[in-house]
Chains A and B, each alone.
Chain A
Amino acid sequence: GESVGLHLPTLSVQEGDNSIINCAYSNSASDYFIWYKQESGKGPQFIIDIRSNMDKRQGQRVTVLLNKTVKHLSLQIAATQPGDSAVYFCAENIPGTYKYIFGTGTRLKVLA
């Protein structure tokens, strides 16, 4: 299928290493965030979310960190695998709505 994110920033990591993908958000009042993974030719896949009353949330091999002071979000992937190769987007909820603002995205390339 076609690639998305042809001009996106790219993070290349060795298989087995940890990956850290960063995202800055715009609204200090935003209280809910989602990380999505988008593989080539597919729609975005929900990975993990976090509310603003937390600064860390862990899932299976993934951790999201939220720093409200500097309006920064990060996604950490432990023991990165070839199947993790994709474009990753953060999404910021617009307070009081069900609408989201998406970040520009980061392409993760896993090197064998």
Chain B
Amino acid sequence: SAVISQKPSRDICQRGTSLTIQCQVDSQVTMMFWYRQQPGQSLTLIATANQGSEATYESGFVIDKFPISRPNLTFSTLTVSNMSPEDSSIYLCSVEGDWGSYEQYFGPGTRLTVT
């Protein structure tokens, strides 16, 4: 499986500011996914990011709040904009397994606290 890293691993931010989270994969992948895991909760898909096209957002998530970039096949960023304490969560990126595989692998996560 791919090795996935995320930066930063954690951050404490003030409300009203924005944070960009980076996800780097050690091999080329077609699809990358961004999830949110609120405290004590399960994982919720935010969006799917494919290289060369706009990200596809799930219900309840919008591009203005969570802009995503996917400049190449090994990298993606998620920005959490105009943050509020309700945005305090773990943000996770994931990738599919081998080309066409339905397996999905996760990065270590970014733990965001908004004060």
Contact = CB atoms under 8 A, between A and B. Distances in A.
Interface of A: 1-2, 4-8, 32, 34, 36, 41-46, 49, 89, 91, 93, 98-100, 102-105
Nearest to A93: B102
A5 B43 CA distance: 11
A34 B40 CA distance: 20
Q: Does more than half of chain B's interface fall in helix, strand or loop, or is it mixed?
A: strand
Chain B interface size, under 10 / 10 to 19 / 20 to 34 / 35 or more: 20 to 34
B106 A104 contact: no
B67 interface: no
Interface stretch (B12-20, B31-39, B70-78, B79-87): B31-39
Contacts of A46: 1, 103-106
A73 B103 CA distance: 17
Nearest to A103: B42
Given A44-B92, A46-B106, A105-B42, 16 more contacts: A6-B39, A7-B40, A36-B106, A42-B109, A43-B108, A43-B109, A44-B43, A46-B104, A91-B43, A93-B102, A98-B33, A98-B96, A99-B33, A99-B48, A103-B42, A104-B42
Contacts of B4: 43
B111 A2 contact: yes
A91 B104 contact: yes
B103 A49 contact: yes
Contacts of B109: 42-43
B90 interface: yes
A4 B1 contact: no
Contacts of B102: 32, 49, 93, 98
Contact of B40 (A5, A49, A93, A102): A5
Contacts of A7: 40
Interface in B46-79: 48
A98 B48 contact: yes
Please indicate which of the listed interface residues B45, B48, B103, B104 has the most CB atoms of chain A within 10 Å of its own CB.
B104
A99 B33 CA distance: 8
